[in-house]
C-alpha cells in the first residue's frame, strides 16, 4: 500500500475519486466518444467534471436529455443513466432501437478524448465519435427515454460502439427492461459508481438522495439504506484499513449491519489515496426532527431557506430584484435571471456566520480590497510591478465577489424584514417557548383562513407537534379539518403522510395513525439543555436557531465526550492493526439529511471529523415537500 496522501478537504477527495472513476472508463476506450446524459445526472457531474476536462479524454459530443438523437459520428457511444426503470425504457425507445450516424457537440471532456456531449437524452447525436456513452440515473422514465430516443434507432453495424452507464449502478429490473427491448445491448450495460458529490461546504459531501426519508417512511424501501452502506464502503475502500463503525438510530443500525456484510465480499477497486479515519460515526436524522423545521439564521442557511442552493452550489436570482437600486452589469442586462456560483474565496468566510455578523465580515473584505489597490498605486520597482500584474486577476475577482455578496446580504436582510417573515419567526419563537403548548395557534389559523402557502402552515404545525411531544387529538383534528376546508380534500393525503413520518403526531393513543419512532423532545430538551437561558452571545451556536441548540449536535457532543463508548459499534476485522492516538480522526455520516446551519456548527465543534457526509442537504420545506407524493 502506498503512503497516505497529504490531508485534503473532503470535497477535494470526492472530486478526485469521481473524476478517477469516470476517466478510467473513458481512457479504456480508444478513439472518440459521445456521452448521452440524463439531465439530472449531467447537473450532478458538472459539480466534479468540467466540459474542458472531458474534452481532454476525447469526448467529442454530449447528448442531453436522453430522448434527443445522436447526430455526430463517433467511435464509441456511452449512455450514462440512473438505475430506474423509466430511465431504462426511455433509453431503449430513444436510442437502442434507432440512431442516426452523427452527433451534437459541446466542449468539456476533451482532456479525456471526449469530443461531444448530448443533453438532454432526447437530443440527437450529431458529431462523429468512436464511442457513445449513455450516462443515466436509475429512474424508469430515463431508461424509457433512452430506448425510444436512441437505442431503437441504432443500426446493426453500430451496436458495438454504444455503452450504457447507470449511476451509481444498474438494477435487475432496468437490465431486463433494456434487454427485452434491445437483446444485443446486454453486454453493453455497465455501472458508474459515482455515489458522492461535493457541496458548497468544503468539509461536507452529499449522496444527493433527498428521497430517502419519504421512501423509507412511506414505502419502507430498505434499498435506500443499502445505497448508503455502498457509499460508505466506497469511501473506506480508498483508505488503508477499514475503520471501526459506531452508530446510533434505527436507520444507522441497518446501514452499519449492511456495511459489515459488504466488508466480507471483495471491496470496490481502490481508485485513489484518501485520508484514513479511525472511526465511522453514523447517526439518524430522525433522532432530531425539530431542528430542520426551524428557520436557519446563518448566511448559507438563509440563502437555502429563501432562494435555495442547488447541487452545483449555485443560487438563481431574478436580475432586477438582485440589483434593485444598483446598476445591472452589462452581461446581465438582457437576462431576467442569472446563476450565482458559491465557489469564490469569500463564501467560505461568510457561509457559517450569523446573518447579523455578515455585514461586518464584508466590510473587512472591502477594506482589504482598498488596501490592495493602494498598494498597487505605490509600486516602484519592476519586480513589484510584475508581482502586482500577476495577482491583479485574483484581486479583481475578489472585489467583484465582495460587491456581489454585499448586494446579496442587502437582499437577504430585506427579505427577512418583510412583515410576513417577521410574523412567521415570531410564531416560531412562541412555539419554541411552548407558549401555546398543544393548543391551536391563532397565527396558524389566520394563515389557513388567508390561504397562505400550505408549506408554511404544515411546517409550523410540524414544529409545534415536535416541541410538545404531539398535539391533543382535538387540536390535530381541528388543524386537519381547517386545512381540508381551505386547501381541498386532496391535501389530506399529504397531511397523513406527515403523520406516518412522525413530523405531525397525536399526544394520546386515541389517534389510530401509527407514528415512526416518536421523539420525547420535552425530556430531551431538559437533559441536553437545548435552550439558552440567556440571550445568545457572539459565537454561541444557539444564535443560529433563535436561542436553540440543535439536538443532533448535543447528541454528538455527548457521544464524543464519552468517546462514543455509549453507542453501538462494530469493530474492524481482527487483522487490522490498532494504533493508539491522542485524537482520533473520524468520518461522520448523517442518514436522512442535514441543514447548512448544522453543517457550520459541526465544522466548528468537531475538528476531528475529517469527513462529513450526508444523504442530502435539506431545509424544513424540502423535508415536508418530499413527503407530498
pLDDT in tens, 310-328: 999 999 999 999 998 788 8
Average pLDDT of span 247-255: 96
Listed residues 194, 228, 253: the one ending a domain? 194
Residue 488 lies in a domain: yes
Rounded mean pLDDT, 276-298 = 95
Residue 14 lies in a domain: no
The answer to whether residue 294 sits within a structural domain is no
For the chain, the average pLDDT equals 86
Residues 74 and 171 in one domain: yes
Higher-pLDDT residue of 440 and 381 is 440
Using DSSP, state whether 78 is helix, strand or coil. Answer: strand
In 307-354, alpha helices (H) = 319-322, 347-350
Query: What's the gap between Cα 586 and its chain centre?
Result: 21
Last residue of a domain, one of 396, 416, 436: 416
Tell me, yes or no, whether 85 and 140 share the same domain.
Answer: yes
**Statement to judge: residues 493 and 365 lie in one domain:** no
Distance, C-alpha 185 to centroid of its chain:
32
Q: Does residue 104 surpass a pLDDT of 60? A: no
Q: Rounded mean pLDDT of 46-75?
A: 81
Q: Which distant-in-sequence residues (6+ apart) come within 8 Å of 374 by Cβ?
A: none
354 and 481 together in one domain: no
* Domain presence at residue 224: no
- Look at residue 275 and tell me whether its pLDDT is greater than 50: yes
Q: Does residue 185 surpass a pLDDT of 70?
A: yes
pLDDT tops 60 at residue 391: yes
Residue 106's pLDDT band (boundaries 50, 70, 90)?
very low
Section 532-549 average pLDDT = 80
* Confidence band for 111, pLDDT divided at 50, 70 and 90: low
User: Are 483 and 460 part of one and the same domain?
Assistant: yes
User: What is the SS3 assignment for 281-318?
Assistant: EEEEHHHCCHHHHCCCCEHHHHHHHHCCCCCCCEEEEE
CATH, residue 441: 1.25.40.850
Query: 122: part of which helix (H) or strand (E)?
Result: strand 121-122
Q: Tell which phi-psi region holds residue 445, choosing left (phi > 0), alpha (psi between -120 and 50) or beta.
A: alpha
The answer to whether residue 210 is domain-embedded is no
Mean pLDDT for the stretch of residues 197-214: 93
Do 363 and 507 lie in a common domain? Answer: no
Classify residue 168: in a domain, yes or no: yes
| Exposed / middle / buried, residue 304 (Cβ in 10 Å: 0-12, 13-18, 19+) | buried
Task: Give the domain-ending residue among 416, 434, 453.
Answer: 416
pLDDT at residue 52 in the model: 87
Q: Which three cell numbers, joined as nine digits, stand for 55?
A: 474534452
Number of domains in the chain: 3
Beta bridge partners of 245: 280, 570
Please report the pLDDT score of residue 274 as a whole number: 86
State the average pLDDT over residues 239-246: 92
- 254-258, 464-468, 513-517, 529-533: least confidently modelled range: 513-517
How far apart are the C-alpha atoms of 330 and 319, rounded to whole Å? 12
Count CA within 13 A, CB hemisphere, residue 386: 3
Other C-beta atoms closer than 10 Å to the C-beta of 300 total 27
Residue 410 and residue 435 share a domain: no
Number of alpha helices (DSSP H) and beta strands (DSSP E) in the chain: 23, 21
Residue 306, pLDDT above cutoff 90: yes
Residue 317 located in a structural domain: no
Which of 377, 376, 374, 356 lies closest to 366 in space, CA to CA? 374
Is 255 in contact with 247 (CB distance < 8 Å)? yes
**Domain that includes residue 110, residue range:** 31-194
The predicted structure's pLDDT at residue 112: 65
User: Which residue do the cell numbers 484499513 mark?
Assistant: 241
Per-residue model confidence (pLDDT) at position 45: 85
Confidence tier at 94 by pLDDT (50, 70, 90):
confident
For the ranges 140-149, 155-164, 188-197, the maximum mean pLDDT occurs at 188-197
All three cell numbers of 530: 437545548
378, β-bridge pairs: none
Helix (H, G, I), strand (E, B) or coil at 229: helix
Q: If pLDDT is split at 50, 70 and 90, which confidence band does 455 have?
A: very high
Q: Which has the minimum average pLDDT: 68-77, 129-138, 221-230, 586-595?
A: 68-77
Contact 365, 398 (CB under 8 A): yes
Do 165 and 39 share a domain, yes or no? yes
Fill in the DSSP letter of residue 605. H
Q: What gap in Å lies between CA 177 and CA 97, rounded to an integer?
A: 13
Residue burial 341-373, b: 16+ Cβ < 10 Å; e: rest? ebebebbbbbbbbbbebbeebbeebeeebeebe
310/507 Cα distance (integer angstroms): 37
**Average pLDDT of the residues in 162-175:** 89
Residues 360 and 506 in one domain: no
Residue 24: inside a domain, yes or no? no
Least confident of 38-42, 98-102, 216-220, 439-443: 98-102
Q: Is the pLDDT of residue 1 over 60?
A: no
> If DSSP codes are grouped into helix, strand and coil, which group holds residue 378?
coil
pLDDT for 107 equals 46
- Which has the minimum average pLDDT: 78-82, 246-250, 518-522? 78-82
Identify the pLDDT of residue 6. Answer: 46
DSSP-based three-state secondary structure for 367: helix
Reported confidence tier of residue 84, pLDDT bands at 50, 70, 90: low
Three-state secondary-structure class, residue 70: coil
Residue 586 bridge partners (DSSP): 279, 609
Query: Do residues 40 and 188 both lie within one domain?
Result: yes
Q: Does the N-terminal peptide bond of residue 168 adopt cis geometry, omega within 30 degrees of 0?
A: yes
**At 61, is the pLDDT very low, low, confident or very high (cuts 50, 70, 90)?**
confident
User: Does residue 387 sit in the same domain as residue 498?
Assistant: no
Report the half-sphere exposure of 38 (CA within 13 A, side-chain side).
32
E strand or H helix at 377, and its extent? helix 355-377
Do both 410 and 426 map to the same domain?
no
Grid coordinates given for 250: 434505527
Amino acid at each position: 500500500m502506498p503512503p497516505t496522501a497529504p490531508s485534503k478537504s473532503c470535497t477535494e477527495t470526492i472530486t478526485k475519486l469521481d473524476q478517477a472513476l469516470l476517466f478510467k472508463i473513458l481512457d479504456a476506450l480508444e478513439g472518440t466518444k459521445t456521452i448521452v446524459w440524463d439531465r439530472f445526472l449531467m447537473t450532478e457531474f458538472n459539480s466534479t467534471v468540467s466540459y474542458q476536462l472531458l474534452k481532454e479524454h476525447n469526448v467529442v459530443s454530449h447528448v442531453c436529455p436522453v430522448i434527443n438523437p445522436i447526430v455526430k459520428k463517433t467511435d464509441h457511444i456511452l449512455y450514462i443513466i440512473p438505475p430506474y426503470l423509466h430511465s431504462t425504457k426511455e433509453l431503449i425507445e430513444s436510442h437502442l432501437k434507432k440512431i442516426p450516424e452523427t452527433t451534437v457537440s459541446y466542449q468539456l471532456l476533451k482532456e479525456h478524448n471526449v469530443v461531444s456531449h448530448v443533453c438532454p437524452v432526447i437530443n440527437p447525436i450529431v458529431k462523429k465519435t468512436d464511442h457513445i456513452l449513455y450516462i443515466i440515473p436509475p429512474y424508469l422514465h430515463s431508461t424509457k427515454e433512452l430506448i425510444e430516443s436512441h437505442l431503437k434507432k441504432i443500426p446493426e453495424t453500430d451496436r458495438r460502439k454504444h455503452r450504457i452507464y447507470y449511476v451509481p449502478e444498474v438494477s435487475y429490473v432496468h437490465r431486463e427492461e433494456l434487454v427485452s427491448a434491445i437483446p444485443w445491448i446486454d453486454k453493453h450495460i455497465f455501472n458508474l459508481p459515482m455515489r458522492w458529490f461535493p457541496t458548497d461546504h468544503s468539509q461536507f459531501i452529499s449522496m444527493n438522495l433527498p428521497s430517502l426519508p419519504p421512501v423509507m417512511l412511506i414505502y419502507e424501501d430498505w434499498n435506500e439504506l443499502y445505497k448508503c452502506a455502498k457509499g460508505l464502503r466506497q469511501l473506506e475502500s480508498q483508505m488503508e484499513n477499514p475503520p471501526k463503525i459506531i452508530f446510533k438510530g434505527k436507520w444507522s443500525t441497518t446501514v452499519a449491519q449492511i456495511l459489515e456484510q459488504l466488508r466480507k465480499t471483495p471491496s470496490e477497486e481502490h481508485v485513489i489515496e484518501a485520508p484514513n479515519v479511525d472511526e465511522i460515526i453514523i447517526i439518524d436524522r430522525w433522532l432530531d426532527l425539530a431542528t430542520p423545521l426551524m428557520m436557519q439564521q446563518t448566511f448559507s442557511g438563509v440563502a437555502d431557506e429563501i432562494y435555495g442552493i442547488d447541487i452545483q452550489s449555485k443560487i438563481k436570482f431574478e436580475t432586477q430584484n438582485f440589483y434593485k437600486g444598483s446598476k445591472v452589469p452589462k452581461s446581465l442586462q438582457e437576462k431576467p435571471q442569472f446563476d450565482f456560483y458559491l465557489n469564490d474565496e469569500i463564501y467560505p468566510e461568510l457561509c457559517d456566520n450569523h446573518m447579523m455578523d455578515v455585514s461586518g465580515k464584508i466590510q473587512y473584505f472591502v477594506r482589504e480590497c482598498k488596501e490592495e489597490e493602494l498598494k498597487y498605486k505605490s509600486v516602484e520597482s519592476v519586480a513589484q510591478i510584475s508581482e502586482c500584474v500577476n495577482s491583479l486577476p485574483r484581486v479583481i475577482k475578489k472585489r467583484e465577489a465582495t460587491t456581489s455578496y454585499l448586494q446579496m446580504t442587502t437582499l437577504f436582510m430585506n427579505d427577512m424584514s418583510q412583515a410576513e417573515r417577521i410574523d412567521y419567526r415570531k410564531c416560531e419563537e412562541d412555539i419554541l417557548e411552548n407558549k401555546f403548548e398543544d393548543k391551536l395557534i391563532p397565527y396558524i389559523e389566520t394563515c389557513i383562513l388567508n390561504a397562505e402557502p400550505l408549506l408554511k402552515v404544515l411546517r409550523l404545525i410540524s414544529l409545534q407537534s415536535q416541541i410538545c411531544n404531539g398535539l391533543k387529538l382535538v387540536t390535530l383534528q381541528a388543524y386537519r379539518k381547517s386545512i381540508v376546508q381551505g386547501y381541498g380534500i386532496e391535501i389530506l393525503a399529504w397531511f397523513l403522510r406527515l403523520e406516518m413520518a412522525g413530523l405531525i403526531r397525536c399526544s394520546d393513543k386515541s389517534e389510530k395513525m401509527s407514528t415512526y419512532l416518536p421523539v420525547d423532545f420535552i425530556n430531551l430538551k431538559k437533559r441536553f439543555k437545548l435552550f439558552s437561558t440567556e440571550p445568545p452571545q457572539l459565537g454561541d451556536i444557539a444564535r443560529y436557531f433563535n436561542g436553540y441548540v440543535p439536538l443532533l449536535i448535543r447528541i454528538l457532543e455527548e457521544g464524543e465526550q464519552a468517546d462514543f463508548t455509549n453507542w453501538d459499534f462494530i469493530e474492524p476485522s481482527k487483522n487490522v492493526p490498532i494504533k493508539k492516538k491522542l485524537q482520533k480522526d473520524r468520518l461522520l455520516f448523517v442518514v436522512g439529511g442535514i441543514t447548512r446551519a448544522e453543517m457550520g456548527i459541526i465544522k466548528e465543534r468537531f475538528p476531528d471529523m475529517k469527513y462529513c457526509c450526508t444523504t442530502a442537504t435539506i431545509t424544513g420545506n424540502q423535508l415536508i415537500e418530499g413527503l407530498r407524493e
